[in-house]
Chains A and B, each alone.
Chain A
């Protein structure tokens, strides 16, 4: 799973969001490191919808502009959980191996 995809799903894991909301949420989650641009966001959303990982929750018109809210599907939540577990396992392994070395270096 690409990082942008992972972060978009993570943004939606907290509840429904519209496009602009996802962009600012992803910036928050990544500590400002990942700035999604609209072209990247919407090609990713298109793919995620086609794969059934997200779906349109509702549409609203705000200031004459369409605003669509997306939410995670059950399948999307499952995939995100699996990916988070995988990344967590890798990160834990990395830290476990680094720690003795770091401790040894200090001594």
Chain B
């Protein structure tokens, strides 16, 4: 079937619109498929169409999301799963800090009744937790990004970060109630467990081959 005839302006405006939508896809997918999809999109275009239809635009964006949720070419399932778990850990941290902020008033009131001397130290601790949370979230997201892109040092960083999370969980355990409510503590424990699993995953044999391909066998 041949492409409908259109003048150069219509065609280039429409093409620009489609390219803007295709920009949301992962780079490897675009390198492989962009020109071809564009050819199909232009072939499907109506006569005189100057902008992508809403239907096609939504379908392209949905495809972009779907592609970003898939393993990248050559990426083993272990690394893909680890990266997803790191994003999950970031979400859990977000949930923890929101829970903490939401219950802060009640927690501080309870502390003031039970242990007035500890109030200012506890307050400082709570602020520290809330300041650290965005950092923790950023580190998780960065690590997820870095391991998916085969950055080997990121694995060491994951191990170190896991150590840090373990220590902060132990510190929270020793501080205990009422500063940490069961919900916050549960979320902390969940994050620790997710971190542990992703740490194990990035050091499995399949992941080792991904991070260090064709490493010479030591003599």
Contact = CB atoms under 8 A, between A and B. Distances in A.
Contacts of A39: 37, 56, 59-64
Interface in A32-64: 37-43, 46-47, 50, 62-63
B55 A42 contact: no
Contact-residue size bin, chain B (C-beta under 8 Å from the other chain)? 20 to 34
A65 B38 contact: yes
Given A19-B40, A20-B1, A46 B29 contact: yes
Main secondary structure of the interface of B (DSSP, over half): helix
Contacts of B66: 43
Interface in A63-87: 63, 65-68
Given A20-B44, A39-B59, A39-B61, 16 more contacts: A19-B37, A20-B43, A23-B40, A37-B55, A37-B56, A38-B59, A40-B63, A41-B40, A42-B40, A43-B63, A46-B32, A50-B73, A63-B3, A66-B35, A67-B36, A67-B39
Interface of A is mostly: helix
A92 interface: no
Interface string A1-37: 0000000000000000001100110000000000001
Interface of A: 19-20, 23-24, 37-43, 46-47, 50, 62-63, 65-68
Contacts of B70: 46-47
Interface string B23-49: 000000100110111111111100000
